[in-house]
Chain A
């Protein structure tokens, strides 16, 4: 009796695994979930498998991320077309917003309300910096350097 029950349960488990819900079959839901991640986690998620990497490369995912961190409506249709023309939200985050947010969070006391306000980085400033980078790339420069100042690790000047 006990052995039969166990075997039945085992078969039920097998069935679930064969017919059950797989996130990878529902890419839109996967994308929805990924839009709620922060930048670093998105980067990690992109390394999971090829499918996840493709989904993480969608600009809409990064657009949602930028929108959350920026005061000024990163998701307006007008803004969207400009950002797309300048290189896309993923690039905007990678080059400007991400490093800037890292810089802001580790430079200030997290409890300081002023600094927290600045974590919502002004959209216009990020886009200005982004446009300069895009402009430098037009020249075909291998490594546009105008945003390098954002990428270096903060150094405490005593």
Chain B
């Protein structure tokens, strides 16, 4: 049952008037009156769920799934009279419908879906122009429409999320996710669909090729999370002809709120894996809330080692509104070039969500996330929990794009062509991702799903998409003349760093 759904068994539409809408919404727990949305801005108004407590919300949603009850998490049991007034898709267990009936229903759903999209656009336009009253009225209209559409899949689901995001933009402030919640959601998104796996495998392939011939290698990961990218690299280095090198990984991540050192724990696990396959390994964690807080000396780049910088979905967070310079990304790119890495792997969403006008961003995001959600449904059905949490992960992105402005908006996705320009201007040269990476990606996708996903090669970069719409891109870059001689281990300038306030310092070697 979606957030706006019902299990009504009647078919047929009734035109609902204002007071009837109020009765319907009151039956579902909403005390909102269609005529006066302004009082909702009252600080006493309690929003349906607390966005900072994601896991509890999802658990409650899923227990509803499991118990197959019709009550939604924050809605009271639907009174019988209300269900009679709302039309919705026919409950298939009730009666065997005729073909004409099904066709009519489908047509109605399609019409409702189209109307929904139209409403979304108009509402976004109203928001952009600043007519909040008009926008609020449209949000209410959308809620009614959503009860008629199947919100468990397709356009209904995505429209539901976007309508919800518009509601939040109008009435509430979007609170950022806690660190642990974000990691949990990220992990489920990793498991539910191939985008992150594709990113990791492609980047690892490029890094592996760049590390050929070097005995000491250093990987700098801009977002360690649970370190899921690195077991595969460790294993590949262990099997490398000529034996494994000495591997150092520097993982950058946000500081853990509850005092436990998450980076260090991940480092321990990676070290244990490396020890079991006999790869000499050292780990270092750098805790920083923002990438531009990280300074090059914290990474302790050593002379004589091959450095790889790995950024998966991180660089777009450093962008600002187009036109405002300087963007933090430029300073970060500058120090990346400064440490002379052998290879820089960049994975970013293939979308343009950093346009200056709200309506453009909104439209782009609507189509991008529709495709993305479509692909989630199209792949093999997994654990329900995985899918639900993966969707919440995407929903947080949607909310950030729609609701937040200025510094709070971090999901500033830009397409590959713009990244190419930016990285080239910073002094990086592109590296062609070889056919090996392409074949590996294609093979991975065959395992994931029969059809729908497509890997394409664009000027040496790989993109993964759904039905010909590219959704994520992976590219590799190098610094010209960064060829450190593989045997040059005589000069060993280790930069000694003492603990400086603002950064945590863990070192652990095996």
Contact = CB atoms under 8 A, between A and B. Distances in A.
B437 to A, nearest CB: 11
A79 interface: yes
Contact of B380 (A100, A127, A130, A154): A154
Interface string A127-158: 11111101100110000011011101111110
Interface residues of A, number: 36
A131 B440 contact: no
Nearest to A87: B276
Given A118-B443, A138-B272, A146-B191, A86 B277 contact: yes
B231 interface: yes
B363 interface: no
Range class of the B interface residue count = 35 or more
A104 B386 CA distance: 24
A14 to B, nearest CB: 55
A122 interface: yes
B276 A86 contact: yes
Given A86-B277, A138-B272, A149 B450 contact: no
A104 B450 CA distance: 9
B24 to A, nearest CB: 35
B191 A149 contact: yes
B269 A131 contact: no
A104 B273 contact: no
Interface in A108-132: 118, 121-122, 124-125, 127-132
A135 B452 contact: no
A57 interface: no
Contact of A82 (B227, B235, B380): B235
A7 interface: no
A135 B452 CA distance: 30
B380 A135 contact: no
A85 interface: yes
A124 B201 CA distance: 10
A91 interface: no
Interface string B242-278: 0000000000000000000000000001101100111
Contacts of A134: 231, 273, 276
A82 B234 CA distance: 10
Given A128-B201, A128-B235, A134-B231, A157 B276 contact: no
B446 interface: yes
Contacts of B451: 157
B383 A149 contact: no
B386 A145 contact: yes
Interface in B374-403: 378-383, 386
Interface in B338-388: 378-383, 386
A157 B452 contact: yes
B440 A125 contact: yes
Contacts of A139: 269
A152 B381 contact: yes
B228 A82 contact: no
Contacts of A2: none
A124 B208 CA distance: 12
Given A135-B269, A145-B191, A122 B382 contact: no
A23 to B, nearest CB: 37
Contacts of A78: 238-239
B447 A157 contact: no
Most buried by A among B232, B379, B444, B448: B232
Interface in B200-235: 201, 204, 227-228, 231-232, 234-235
A128 B232 contact: yes
A132 B226 CA distance: 11
A132 to B, nearest CB: 5
A61 to B, nearest CB: 22
Contact of A128 (B236, B272, B381): B236
B456 to A, nearest CB: 18
B276 A85 contact: yes
B52 interface: no
B228 A107 contact: no
Interface string B168-192: 0000000000000000000000110
A78 B378 CA distance: 39
A135 B228 contact: yes
A103 B273 CA distance: 28
A132 B447 contact: no
Contact of A145 (B269, B383, B440, B449): B383
B440 A122 contact: yes
B382 A152 contact: yes
Most buried by A among B204, B380, B439: B380
A131 B231 contact: yes
A81 B448 CA distance: 28
8 A-B pairs with the lowest CB-CB distances in the bound complex, closest first: A128-B232, A131-B235, A135-B231, A131-B231, A85-B276, A152-B380, A85-B277, A145-B191
16 contacts: A79-B239, A81-B277, A81-B278, A103-B446, A121-B443, A125-B201, A125-B440, A125-B444, A130-B235, A131-B231, A131-B235, A134-B276, A146-B228, A148-B382, A149-B447, A157-B452
Given A149-B194, A152-B381, 4 more contacts: A86-B277, A125-B201, A148-B383, A150-B447
Interface of A: 78-79, 81-82, 85-86, 100, 103-104, 107, 118, 121-122, 124-125, 127-132, 134-135, 138-139, 145-146, 148-150, 152-157
